[in-house]
Structure 1
Amino acid sequence: MNVQQRVGPYTLIRKLGEGGMGVVHLAEDPAGRRVALKTMRPDLAGREEFRRRFGKETEAARRVARFCTAPVLDAGFDNGVAYLVTEFVEGPDLAAVVARAPLTGSNLEALAVGVATALAAIHEAGVVHRDLKPSNVLLSPVGPRVIDFGVAQLADAPGAMATIATSMGTPAYMSPEQARGEHVTPAGDIFSWGALVTYAGTGRPPFGTGGVPEVVYRVINHAPVLGGLDERIRPLVERALDKDPARRPTAQQLVDQLLGRTGVPVAAATQAVSETWTPVVEPPSPSPGRRRPWLPILAAVLAALVGAGVTLAAVRPWERPGAEPGTPAVAATIDALGSRLHVQIDSLVRQGTTARLQWTVKNVGTENAPLSGKLGASIFDGTVSRVNIVPPGVGKPLYPAFKGDACQCAPVPNAPFDGGAQLQLWAVFEGLPETAEHVDVNLGPLGAFKNVAVTEA
């Protein structure tokens, strides 16, 4: 299709990709907003059964809440062309990222939570994804987004097992019941979640690669290969990959167990993902013969800032230095974690190259804003180990010191943090240059304080 060609009321801009179901374009709606528009294969749109089911299935997909998903915005037919419109997600897909390197640490955990959250929202709307795989997970600046839910079943045809497998791409993420051509339930998506998380964390699908028949055989008959997968996630992945659908957890149970509490709303889980996600920055592609050494540096700085979950306001008082050099802007009131918080640096005291930071957080809003799991290095970390300080002239931040496996920093109570609640936190840092008289303090989602004075013990 040519640039500027229209489908329905949408103007096509450029081709984004092509899959078994059709072609995806970047497009603009009549208001000029960018969307992703998928045109279905002509042979599908020509089937009477497809046309009958298209409206029903896409309407169900439109009921899916937008948490960790790219929501369906519109669908229709234009001169015999069936099309589906979703929110445009800026970012690479999981397959492209893992091809460079598997995910680790907080990003792997955030991916596991985010995809499980999306499945919870999808299943709550009565939809089954049926085609969860790396190319259907986009890594946006605020976390993973699941796309193409509930659409794969439109390609179904009686006795078309081989066609279904081919249209979905690799069968490595199918559940055994789907690989056998049986009825697929939400439990099938859970199996696919386990396979996808394994791939994200190891770079290999749990049932290997190869031709369709051999991979399908392994999915049905072999145990998954999970070597190298993060041990904190592995037990839950093993349960998700159970051959018996009845023994797999639900999507909500995945979210609850990953976040360590029960009944986590999908909105809260989505927020937890965005606060621990570090955006994936694709490598720059400078013109041949023209080097731009500042691009990787700029990309890394931007990723660090966004990944730290810094809440930016129109006026950023915590970034204003004091009247005199080394005088900190010691307090700020910000909107963060769903409420309004007053954050104050109480002290930063050094003894030699060791420093102790102490700060106070008070909820001056009206909403509950639990801090547990928001200030640690991962969603499983209940401390403030994510907090860091940056001395002048030092390229890397200093994070809280560890003794053995124990962070020399405050634990965060796993409890509500309602309006009026106050909490004092601390962290010890080692390796502070003896010449440093002030540092920048990054409290993650609680904000970044510039030019904080260092005092001697």
Structure 2
Amino acid sequence: MGTEVDLPGHIGTYVVERELGAGGMGTVYLARSRGGRPVAVKVARPELAADPNFRARFRAEVEAARQVGGFHTAPVVDADPDAAAPWLATAYIAGPTLSELLDRQGSMTEPQLRLFGAALAEALQAIHRCGLIHRDLKPGNIIMAEDGPRVLDFGIARAVESTRLTTTGSAFGTPGFLAPEQARGLEVGPAADVFALGAVLVAAAGGRAFGEGAPMGLMYRAVHESPDLSALPPGLRPVVADCLAKDPAQRPTPQRLLDLFAPKAPPHPTAAPAGGGGAAAAVPPGPTPTAVVGHVTSAETVEQEPKAAPRGRARAALLAAGAAGALLLTGGGLYAAGAFTGEDGDTSLPPATHELTTPITVVSGGYFRDRETWTKEPNGKSVSADYSGTSKGPRFREFSLTGSSGRFKHLGEERDRLMRSLTYTGRERVTDPRRDLHVPGSEITYSCETVTDTTVYTVCVWADTNTVGAIKFTPSARLEVAAAETQKIRKDMRTPIVTHS
């Protein structure tokens, strides 16, 4: 942050009040018009200002950005591409960034995620209609205003990307939210923003689609590995998985996302709780405004990298709602929340005796583990893992595991919910309808179904007092064969809990 001595007195006709932050293009200042209107002014870095390619692209992008309307963006109100330091002014939006809100209040519930996803889809519609692509949608570029989320910094990323400061094959944007084609330095289209929207929703649910670590590692996983969707409610995993498809052509359009997130038009609550957020666009003249969101007081927008969001409080709230019998939407209808319990004092459940593990090999060496991702929960842990068949004659070329260890209520609902999350995509065709199968020697029943989507696969799910799991087999097979193989895999992966006195 700069000091008062470092501040420019004016940018254009706007009086600068203070620095808000800095990003890839330059520095952002809170300023006021002569009529007292607050604006956010972004000034280009000197090295960008010296690049004629940047100026030409910036001028074109600003003209397009002036046309963007919609409820979920910060409108461009002024710009000067020909200034010594080119600048862009947008209406000032008071409120915390999404990353700040998640850091302080925890993750969103499923209804909140659906409304938030629909709002972002509307914002992308408005941006794309004007021929723009955001290219850097992330939690730090989304303001959670009183009247809903607002997307910032559209219309400038391509200008920065076009400068000689970036080289052929390099990527501009934020690793972890970059689409595969963007991470590889290829030409991008609107589908890249849809990919980023999917990653933002995972962050809003308290997770990270491609984990943490070095930027190159994040980009590698975005290009080559499946996203970690375990933080999302099961009912949202299919649509977010589609958003995060490696092939841009397989991602839904913003209009399709609106149909999936908000098939009807519910009353739209504010993105922040009542009493939160600041006013969008015009904030009355006076002292520098702050946004109060619940018990959190946050100053105006500061660009920052997304932070990991604590999930404990929001997860506990979701559990409490489920215990009261609250209903949440899933991809296939409604289910009663609260099947997962973390209350150690709940004597209505038997003690936990087993948990899921992911051995290096399973089924007598028939499959070898390629990948595993663990997520801790207040009441247990969740895992996803991929296995490939070996030369020891497995029945399937590969399989993926998705499951949780804990103590569960309403086992049938848990099993149904997991099945829906893996077989509902909106475009699938059921090849072999779901059947409940009992494998000789097994104490539980497996539910299996074969689905044709971009590929054909068979899914088998189970639920017992301690573990809930699903195995997705490729290629597909008769349901009886898949159930028998699931029994073998589950036997290797479900191990006794070792307690120490």
* Inter-partner Cα distance in structure 1 for 2:125 and 2:8: 37
Aligned counterparts, 1:294-373, within 5 A: 300=294
Report the AA paired with residue 130 of structure 1. R
State the distance in 2 between where 1:276 and 1:19 align: 25
5+ long unaligned stretches in structure 1: 262-268, 283-297, 304-375, 384-403, 406-457
- Counterpart of 2:177 in structure 1 is 173
Matched-pair contact (CA < 8 Å) for 2:16–2:31: yes
For the pair 1:71 / 2:66, whether they are aligned, the reply is: no
**1:358-396 Cα distance to aligned partner (Å, 9 max, x none):** xxxxxxxxxxxxxxxxxx98888999xxxxxxxxxxxxx
Instruction: Tell me which of 138, 142, 150 is aligned to 1:137.
Output: 142
State the one-letter code of the partner of 1:189. D
* 1:218 equivalent in alignment to 2:224: no
> How big is each residue's C-alpha offset from its partner over 1:83-127, in whole Å with a ceiling of 9 and x where there is no partner?
111111110001111223122243322221111110111111111
Structure 2 residue identity aligned to 1:213: M
2:100 is aligned with 1:96 = yes
| Other structure's SS at 1:108 match | helix
- Give the distance between the partners of 1:92 and 1:163, measured in 2 at CA: 34
Q: 2:100 is paired with a residue of what secondary structure? A: helix
16, 30, 41: which is aligned to 2:34?
Answer: 30
In structure 2, the residue matched to 1:60 is 64
- Deviation for aligned residue 1:130: 0.5
Deviation (angstroms), 1:150:
2.1
CA contact (8 A) 1:71 1:87 kept: yes
For residue 197 of structure 1, the aligned residue among 196, 201, 214 is 201
Q: Which residue of 2 aligns with 1:84?
A: 88
Q: Aligned in 2, Cα 1:125/1:273: closer, same or farther, shift over 3 Å?
A: farther
Structure 1 vs Structure 2: percent identity of aligned residues? 38
Asked if the contact 2:170–2:183 (Cα under 8 Å) also holds between the matched residues in 1, the reply is no
- In the superposition, the TM-score normalised over structure 1's length comes to 0.57
- Cα separation, 1, equivalents of 2:249 and 2:293: 45
| Paired AA for residue 143 in structure 2 | L
Q: Which residue of 2 aligns with 1:278?
A: 273
Match of 2:10 in 1: 6
SS at match of 1:249: coil
- The answer as to 2:106 corresponding to 1:111 is no
Shift of 1:141: 0.9
The 1:280/1:144 distance shift into structure 2, 3 A limit, reads farther
Unaligned stretches of 5+ residues in structure 2:
278-291, 298-325, 335-409, 414-501
- Code of the residue aligned with 2:273 in structure 1: it is T
* Secondary structure class of the residue paired with 1:37: strand
Provide closer, same or farther for how the CA distance between residues 99 and 276 of structure 1 changes in structure 2, counting only shifts above 3 A. closer
Judging changes above 3 Å, is the alpha-carbon distance between structure 1 residues 159 and 45 closer, same or farther for their aligned structure 2 residues?
Answer: closer
| Residues 301 and 132 of structure 1: CA distance in aligned 2, closer, same or farther (over 3 Å) | closer
1:238 equivalent to 2:241? Answer: yes
1:278 counterpart letter in structure 2:
P
Q: Is 2:36 the counterpart of 1:41?
A: no
* 1:71 to 1:174, Cα distance in 2 relative to 1, 3 A: same
C-alpha separation between the residues in 1 aligned to 2:178 and 2:167?
A: 12
**1:272 CA displacement:** 4.5
The answer to whether the 8 Å contact 1:140/1:279 transfers is: no
Structure 1 residue 281, shift from structure 2 partner: 4.4
The one-letter amino acid paired with 1:70 is A
Cα distance change on mapping 1:53 and 1:299 into 2, 3 Å: closer
Question: In the TM superposition, what whole-angstrom CA distance separates every residue of 1:337-360 from its partner, at most 9, and x where no partner exists?
Answer: xxxxxxxxxxxxxxxxxxxxxxxx
Q: Secondary structure at the match of 1:232?
A: helix
Displacement, 1:279? Answer: 5.0
Closer, same or farther: CA 234–299 of 1 in aligned 2, 3 Å: closer
Output the CA distance in 1 between the equivalents of 2:273 and 2:330: 16
**1:157-172 matches, cutoff 5 A:** 157=163, 160=166, 165=171, 168=173, 170-172=174-176
Moved more, 154-163 or 131-140: 154-163
Aligned to 2:395: none
How far does residue 50 in structure 1 lie from its aligned partner after superposition?
Answer: 1.0
Cα distance in 1 between the residues matched to 2:15 and 2:169: 31
Distance change in 2, residues 1:125/1:377 (3 Å): farther
Equivalent in the alignment of 2:132: 127
Q: Distance in 1 between matches of 2:125 and 2:152?
A: 14
* Matched residue, 1:354: none
- Higher relative contact order (CA closer than 8 Å, sequence separation 6+): 2
Distance 1:379 1:82, change over 3 A: farther
C-alpha change, 1:302 and 1:187, in structure 2 (3 Å) is: closer
Deviation readout 1:118-155 (Å, 9 max, x if unpaired): 01111111111011011001100111110101211111
Contact 1:4–1:13 under 8 Å retained in 2: no
Distance 1:35 1:379 in 2: 39
Counterpart amino acid of 1:55?
A: R
**What is residue 455 of structure 1 aligned with on the other side?**
none
1:229, 1:71 → 2: CA distance?
31
2:232 pairs, out of 229, 236, 249, with 229
Per the TM alignment, residue 273 of structure 1 is displaced from its structure 2 partner at its CA by 3.5
Aligned residue pairs total: 288
Q: d(CA) in 2 for partners of 1:201 and 1:31?
A: 41
